[in-house]
């Protein structure tokens, strides 16, 4: 396959035309934001109804953690149970538009499931490369969509290399959530929704679990483009939550470095953020700093406690990777980065059903 074509330069309708000009409420999925997406004008609309997720208050959890204005956006209400569906819809549509008949992707879980689902939806064959250590439940979800699951021994980077080589050898398209530019166009719809849903009372802080940073970069891009179009929005302070066991971005942020620092990763419950060498790491660090945000690392014990807390106090069951963001929000309050009167929006990126029984 050829390299991805450059994105279409986005020229948003001017703010004077209002939000309705940005959004088509008859369409479902990310395509309702089509005027705001930097994708080819004649791209096919591959959708399973992803996105358009609700925001809910967290009164009881917030009270317990000194965050009376805590909010959650239920990003796990996607067809495959994670926010990755937004990006997968965009990447698969872009590859179909380029003439792909099959795709490869490397993932240890949620991105693999999302790409497998949207590939099936588009009638594309899919091969998903996973680390040999990937949990059986994740492999089952990927294989359930008819994708071929290929286990690779070695590091996470070895798995990515195997996928890249397969794409080069076999003329399959590399549907990389970590590298393909359309992925961030898809996740940008998260930021557009936050800005639109909360325009009456915008959040001061946005806390997200960050592995490769696709969701965080989508949010930053949405605010940047909306501001340029005159929508009068201010990007929330962006905070990246990482697992203590594998925190190349948090380490770099603390050290003042422009690039992710090399880490000796340890095992963690939060597999979705355990990315030792994030491809878009420098862009993530720049976005954190530009917004006045930070990067936070939390332990598996904190993530476990946060998951339980959230389920018992609010009836929300999230996967451990997501729980990392809730633990990080509590930590940001405890360390004074977040003030009690400030609103904090936390992205619940993955369903607890993905970590059932653990």
Q: Which is nearer to a copy of itself, 142 or 207 (CB)?
A: 142
Q: What is the DSSP string of 303-328?
A: HHHHHHHHHHHH---B-HHHHHHHHH
What the block records as the tokens of 9 is 């330069």
CB of 123 to a copy of itself, least distance (A): 6
Phi, psi of 126, rounded to the nearest 5 degrees: -135, 140
CB of 345 to a copy of itself, least distance (A): 13
Q: Which is nearer to a copy of itself, 211 or 352 (CB)?
A: 352
Residue 48 is given by DSSP the state S
Q: What is the C-alpha end-to-end distance of the chain, expressed in Å? A: 40
CB of 316 to a copy of itself, least distance (A): 7
Which residue is it, tokens 């069951």? 317
CB of 119 to a copy of itself, least distance (A): 7
Q: Which is nearer to a copy of itself, 266 or 312 (CB)?
A: 312
Measured CA to CA, the distance from residue 352 to residue 93 in angstroms comes to: 28
C-beta separation of 208 from 349 below 8 A: yes
Q: What is the DSSP string of 61-125?
A: HHHHTT-TTEEEE-TT-STTSBTHHHHHHHHHHHHHHTT-SEEEEE-SSHHHHHHHHHHHHHT-E
Q: Which is nearer to a copy of itself, 196 or 257 (CB)?
A: 196
CB of 180 to a copy of itself, least distance (A): 18
CB of 15 to a copy of itself, least distance (A): 20
Q: Which is nearer to a copy of itself, 60 or 277 (CB)?
A: 60
Phi, psi of 120, rounded to the nearest 5 degrees: -60, -45
> How many CB atoms neighbour CB 168 within 10 A?
12
CB of 262 to a copy of itself, least distance (A): 35
Residue 134 is given by DSSP the state S
Q: Which is nearer to a copy of itself, 148 or 339 (CB)?
A: 148
CB of 293 to a copy of itself, least distance (A): 25
23-62 burial, b for 16+ CB within 10 Å, e for fewer?
Answer: beeeeebbbbbbebbbbeeebeebbbebbbbeeeebeebb
C-beta separation of 209 from 325 below 8 A: yes
CB of 60 to a copy of itself, least distance (A): 6
Q: Which is nearer to a copy of itself, 53 or 242 (CB)?
A: 53
Binding site for a copy of itself (CB under 8 A): 28-29, 47-49, 52-56, 60, 74, 77-81, 116-121, 123, 136-137, 140-141, 144-146, 311-317, 351-354, 356-357
Query: Which residues, other chains included, contact 92 with Cβ-Cβ below 8 Å and sequence gap of 6+?
Result: 46, 103, 115, 118, 119, 121, 122, 124, 175
Which residue is it, tokens 């003042």? 256
């Amino acid at each position: 396959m050829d390299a991805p074509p450059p994105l279409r330069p986005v020229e948003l309708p001017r703010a004077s035309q209002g939000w309705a000009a940005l959004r088509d409420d008859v369409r479902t999925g990310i395509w309702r934001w089509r005027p705001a997406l930097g994708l080819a004008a004649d791209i096919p609309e591959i959708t399973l109804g992803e996105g358009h997720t609700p925001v809910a208050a967290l009164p009881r959890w917030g009270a317990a953690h000194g965050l009376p204005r805590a909010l959650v956006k239920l990003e796990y209400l996607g067809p495959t149970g994670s926010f990755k569906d937004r990006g997968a819809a965009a990447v698969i549509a872009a590859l179909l538009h380029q003439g792909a008949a099959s795709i490869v992707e490397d993932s240890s879980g949620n991105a693999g499931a999302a790409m497998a689902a949207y590939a099936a939806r588009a009638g594309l064959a899919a091969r998903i490369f996973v680390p040999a250590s990937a949990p059986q439940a994740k492999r089952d979800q990927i294989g359930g969509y008819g994708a071929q699951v290929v286990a690779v021994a070695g590091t996470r980077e070895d798995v990515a290399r195997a996928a890249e080589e397969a794409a080069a050898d076999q003329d399959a398209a590399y549907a990389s959530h970590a590298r393909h530019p359309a992925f961030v166009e898809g996740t940008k719809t998260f930021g557009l929704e936050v800005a639109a849903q909360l325009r009456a009372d915008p959040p001061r802080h946005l806390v997200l679990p960050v592995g490769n940073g696709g969701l965080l970069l989508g949010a930053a891009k949405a605010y940047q483009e909306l501001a340029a179009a005159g929508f009068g929005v201010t990007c929330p302070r962006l905070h990246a939550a990482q697992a203590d066991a594998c925190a190349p971005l948090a380490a770099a942020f603390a050290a003042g470095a422009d690039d992710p620092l090399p880490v000796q990763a340890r095992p963690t419950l939060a597999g979705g953020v355990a990315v030792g060498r994030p491809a878009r790491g420098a862009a993530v660090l720049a976005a954190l700093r530009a917004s006045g945000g930070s990067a936070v690392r939390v332990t598996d014990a904190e993530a476990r406690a946060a998951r339980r807390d959230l389920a018992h106090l609010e009836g929300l069951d999230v996967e451990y990777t997501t729980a990392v963001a809730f633990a990080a929000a509590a930590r940001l309050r405890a360390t004074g980065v977040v003030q009690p009167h400030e609103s904090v929006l936390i992205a619940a990126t993955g369903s607890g059903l993905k970590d059932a029984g653990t």
